[in-house]
Chains A and B, each alone.
Chain A
Amino acid sequence: MNTFTITRTGTYLTVQDFGRYHYQHLGISPSGAMDPRILKELEKVIPQHANQFLEFAYVGPSLKVSAGAIRVCVGGDCNIFVQKNNNTQIEHQPYTSINLFEGDELTVYNTIDSVFGYIAIENGLGLEPCLNSFATDTKANIGSINRPLQIGDTFNIKEDVSSWKVVFNETVNIEKQNNFKVYPGPQLNYFSDLALQSFVSSTYTITTQSDRMGLRLQGAPLISHISHDILSEGILPGCIQVPSNGQPIVLMRDIPCTGGYPKIAILASEDIAKIAQLPPGSHINFDL
């Protein structure tokens, strides 16, 4: 048995995968990694990740191996250190496999000019899926572990590491972007030409009231001349909805499954991960 324990949680540490599908009609959101591009890059280093990844925002966690050995890889722009059993400290690079033996402690520091980072572990975390997925929705308390991880959470991995060879993914390409070409939303006609003009010509700021459910933006208010209350309808990640204060909200992975605010636009699917990586205070522009 190979065992490691969370010795520091960092912030918003959860288990994620590529999403939980086919349950939204029962009120269960797709969830999954905020930036699945990084999971794809980690997959090239650790193909046997068993679909069980750790996700953190801003500040990464520490993991300490208490028995056996594990092989991990960190994805995202962050500094990584391993405190070895003999008290030496070794710096590691993202997208490079790291071998951790009994007594070793991995610490991932802040994400740099970005938000989300990930850790892939060979053979996963030893978890059972919940509704065919390992993703965590902390608002609905759904997941293999149905809450954010805490200090002391311990993972037991039965399978041993297949190879200690250090593997490096040389082709990582995580694009950054602040301008988003969007598709019209189902209630585009709830907004006058003037409001649409504001939407595409003003700059919006991502506020600190943003999380895995949605990014709250601040900028020119978008007031509907019809209503801000519609019959609730199915929501997709990337929808840009506008409540009655006129400040748009970009819905992310832990979506409310149906919602009653008019949606002015929807992001291209590929852009959801890109917008997720913009820290609060970032300025963004939309183009319809």
Chain B
Amino acid sequence: MYFKEIILYGDRGLILDFGQQSSKSISQEVNAYYHHLKVLGLSSTNIVPSFNKIVISFYSEVDRKQSLNKIQQEISQINPSTTKQNQSTWTIPVCYEDSFALDMQRIQELHDLTKEEVIQLHSNTTYYTYYIGFMPGFPYLGDIHPSLITPRLESPRIQIPARSVGIAKEHTCIYPKVSPGGWNIIGQVPFNLFSLEHPRTSLFLPGDEIKFHAINQKEFERIQKKDLSIDSLIKEYAS
């Protein structure tokens, strides 16, 4: 149990604090609390989980006070180990070929690995979705194999292509759309992960498990052409 305390944040916010560290087991507890808070019917404007905190915001100070009472009453009932998180497991195709893998060489040189080894190490791990943040639908996935841990680019790229797969520190990610950013780019996914038209909005949700498998350029183009909707992606790539 990592949960420490509830802290008042300004006049309309609350922080649930889970300590100073980050790990999958801390995040699983954070996400278990998040799932409980979501169904409490709080008069909140947003509930935002991250590695080691949940930040909740409210319409007014009065709403916060009422919700704080409710959370305090319910919090002892939360048992993270028995919480059903409804998470999905995804197997996502990634093309690691040169035209997409903008920083593959840098990674190979830094860690003295062959391209095949980098691909092996990246696609042989099952990743955990810590949370979605930074930009709409951007998943923080972890943890990557220790021999792939790489610092962010010293100077961020002005434009990273949409659907690029990146690594930075002990995390990997997928950029949902074109964006500036400092992650090391090693591949690309052949479909969009974010849609304002679908009620789910983001393909991945906190707590989801994700595995990547390598595809070649031809397969990438074949899948890309299908222009799959979120519903078809769920059907085809989730279990």
Contacts and interface: CB of A to CB of B under 8 A. Distances in A.
Interface residues of B, number: 37
A25 B47 contact: yes
B114 interface: no
Given A27-B202, A266-B10, A232 B137 contact: no
A143 B49 CA distance: 24
A269 B11 contact: yes
Interface of A is mostly: loop
A256 B134 contact: yes
B45 interface: yes
B10 A25 contact: no
A133 to B, nearest CB: 11
Report the interface size class on chain A: 20 to 34
B180 to A, nearest CB: 10
A231 B52 CA distance: 8
Given A22-B45, A232-B50, A236-B57, A27 B9 contact: no
Contacts of B131: 25, 258
Contact of A266 (B13, B49, B132): B13
Nearest to A146: B196
Interface in A249-288: 256-258, 266-269
Contact of B201 (A26, A30, A233, A235): A26
A143 to B, nearest CB: 10
A28 B10 CA distance: 21
Given A25-B34, A25-B206, A28-B136, 15 more contacts: A19-B45, A23-B201, A24-B48, A25-B49, A25-B131, A131-B196, A142-B196, A186-B9, A231-B52, A232-B133, A232-B134, A233-B52, A236-B9, A236-B55, A258-B48
Interface of B: 7-13, 15, 20, 22, 34, 45-55, 57, 131-138, 140, 177, 196, 201-202, 206
13 contacts: A23-B201, A24-B57, A30-B46, A142-B136, A183-B8, A183-B10, A232-B50, A232-B51, A233-B51, A234-B133, A235-B48, A236-B57, A256-B134
